[in-house]
Amino acid sequence: MSAASTTEDRVPVIETRALGKVYSAGSEAEVVALHGVDMRIHRGDFVAIMGPSGSGKSTLMNLIGCLDTPTSGSYYCDGVDVSTLDAEELAILRRDKIGFVFQGFNLLPRMSALENVAMPLGYAQVPPHERSERARQALAAVGLAERGGHRPTELSGGQQQRVAIARALINEPPIILADEPTGALDSRTGEEILALFKRLRDEGHTVVLITHDAEVAAHADRTLVMRDGELHEQEAGA
């Protein structure tokens, strides 16, 4: 639909090759959560990942977000094999490239909305007045300019989710990963969040969103389906 038909010659923003994840390998509790996942996502794509509970969606998202390491296979983030990076390089890649909207917000309860949003701006790199100014702008972008001083418990579920999105966007990361970002929201607030993701996609961000809801997935340009740790392209009309 967008001018993204010449994708072949571009380096994918996200590329996994035979990515595998086994939890508690070798023990009785062993779980093969991911099995040979090959995935290619390009800049400016808006991709939905669907699939039943326990099929491995969050596991895949955590690997793409460099929050966890695979047991087999490889992951190239913007052309870089992340297994070659040390802990510090990985932290920098995460900070500069990835905005993560977690399943269940993960806001810090004792901090105001503004402070939560400013969190990813390293204390060392960004002076305090610039931190709050950028956090203010990010909150305004999700329609919460008036709520900067509120703590998470003083906000509605949809507002908390928007704070989490503002936090994920504060560094303007090229990749935005969202795990069930609309799951806890009423349909109207959910639509607003989806409109926000589409705007980000149009601005050239890459958005990967996990959802159980086919109506939510229909907003994406492409839907991938996870089944028992295997990733499939959704058939047309399915």
* Footprint of ligand ATP (CB under 6 A): 23-24, 31, 33, 51, 53-59
Distance CA 171, CA 207 (A): 15
Backbone Cα Rg of the chain: 18
Residues 57/226, Cβ–Cβ less than 8 Å: yes
Q: In the chain, how many H helices and how many E strands?
A: 7, 10
Residue 168: closest CA among 222, 128, 208: 208
And the tokens for 154?
């003083």
Q: How many residues of this chain bind Mg ion (CB under 5 A)?
A: 1
**Which residue lies nearer to ligand ATP by CB, 2 or 72?**
72
Six token digits for residue 197? 């993701």
211: contact with Mg ion by CB under 5 A: no
The single-letter code of the amino acid at 64 is: I
> Min. distance of Cβ 62 from Mg ion in angstroms?
9
In this complex, which beta carbon is closest to ligand ATP, that of residue 168 or of residue 226? 226
Stretch that binds Mg ion, among 18-26, 54-62, 79-87, 186-194 (CB under 5 A): 54-62
Q: Which of 13, 49, 51, 58 binds Mg ion (CB under 5 A)?
A: 58
Nearest approach, Cβ of residue 58 and Mg ion (Å): 3
Identity of the residue, 58 or 182, whose beta carbon is nearer to Mg ion in the bound complex: 58
Question: How many CB atoms are located within 10 Å of the residue 238 CB?
Answer: 9
Minimum CB separation of residue 209 from ligand ATP in Å reads 13
Least distance CB 55 / Mg ion (angstroms)? 9
Residues interacting with Mg ion, by CB under 5 A? 58
